[in-house]
A = this chain, B = another copy of it.
Amino acid sequence: MTQIAQVSRIPKGKRTEIRRENERVILDAAERVFAEAGYGGATMQLIADMAGLPKANLHYYFPTKEALYRQVVRNIFEIWLQAAESFDDAPGPVEGIGAYIEAKMAISRRHPYGSKVWASEVMHGAPVIQDYLETTLRDWTAGRMALIQRWIDEGKMAPVDPRHLLYMLWAMTQHYADFGHQIETLNNGQPLSDAQWAEATETVKSVILRGIGVI
Contact = CB atoms under 8 A, between A and B. Distances in A.
A15 to B, nearest CB: 36
A113 to B, nearest CB: 10
Contacts of A18: none
A212 B170 CA distance: 19
Given A41-B39, A124-B38, A133 B168 contact: no
Nearest to A176: B167
A130 to B, nearest CB: 7
B203 A207 contact: no
A186 B138 contact: yes
A119 interface: yes
Interface stretch (A23-31, A56-64, A71-79, A177-185): A177-185
A164 B119 contact: no
A67 interface: no
A191 interface: no
B165 A203 contact: yes
Interface in A161-213: 161, 163-165, 167-168, 170-172, 174-176, 178-179, 181-183, 185-186, 199-200, 203-204, 206-213
A123 B178 contact: yes
A205 to B, nearest CB: 10
A133 B185 contact: yes
A158 interface: yes
A207 B210 CA distance: 8
A149 to B, nearest CB: 14
Nearest to A42: B40
Interface of A: 35-42, 116, 119-120, 122-126, 130, 133-134, 137-138, 141, 158, 160-161, 163-165, 167-168, 170-172, 174-176, 178-179, 181-183, 185-186, 199-200, 203-204, 206-213
6 contacts: A35-B123, A36-B124, A119-B179, A123-B181, A167-B175, A170-B175
